[in-house]
Structures are given as C-alpha cells and as structure tokens.
C-alpha cells in the first residue's frame, strides 16, 4: 500500500478518514489509531512520535492483510426474461 506518512493536520485527517472507513473490519482499531488521533486534539503540536509511526504502519498492514474485502463472485446466471 503506497500511502505516505502524514505530515500535517490535513493529511492526518485524510489518513484517519481512510482507515476509519474500514474500522469495523480492523479489530482494536481505536487502540491502534489512538496515537495518531491525539494529533488532532485542539492545541496539540503535530509531533510524529515512534508510537505514531508504529500505529501508521500497523494500520497500513491491517488494510492489506487477509481477509481482504472484495465484491462477491456470482456464478449463477439470471434466467429472468
């Protein structure tokens, strides 16, 4: 997954928006994303820590490891005419 590390508040929000779309499929999402979520707090300085980097890498990994969500393959033919 070719996603660059967030470097400002806008890209932090964009990354968290992407990952939170799939939060129901990522066990422990809230705990994993917590270090990055703290960067969005009002008055918080945008300091990318080792915890943020670990959370970033773990979330990227969770999005691409099985089970990967795909559309189901339908093998039946419709006979409606």
In the chain, what percentage of residues exceed pLDDT 90? 63
Query: In whole angstroms, what is the distance from residue 5 CA to residue 43 CA?
Result: 21
**pLDDT tens for each residue of 31-43:** 999 999 999 999 8
Q: Where are the domains of the chain?
A: 29-64
Determine the pLDDT at residue 77.
64
pLDDT at 1 over 80: no
Tell me which long-range contacts 3-11 makes (C-beta under 8 A, separation of at least 24): 3/60, 5/48, 5/53, 5/56, 6/36, 6/39, 6/48, 6/56, 7/48, 8/46, 9/39, 9/40, 9/46
């Amino acid at each position: 997954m070719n996603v660059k590390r967030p470097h400002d508040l806008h890209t932090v929000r964009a990354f968290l928006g992407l990952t939170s779309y799939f939060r129901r499929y990522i066990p422990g999402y809230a705990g994993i994303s917590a270090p990055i979520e703290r960067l969005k707090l009002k008055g918080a300085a945008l300091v990318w820590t080792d915890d943020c980097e670990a959370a970033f890498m773990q979330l990227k990994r969770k999005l691409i490891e099985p089970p990967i969500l795909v559309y189901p393959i339908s093998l039946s033919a419709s006979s409606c005419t």
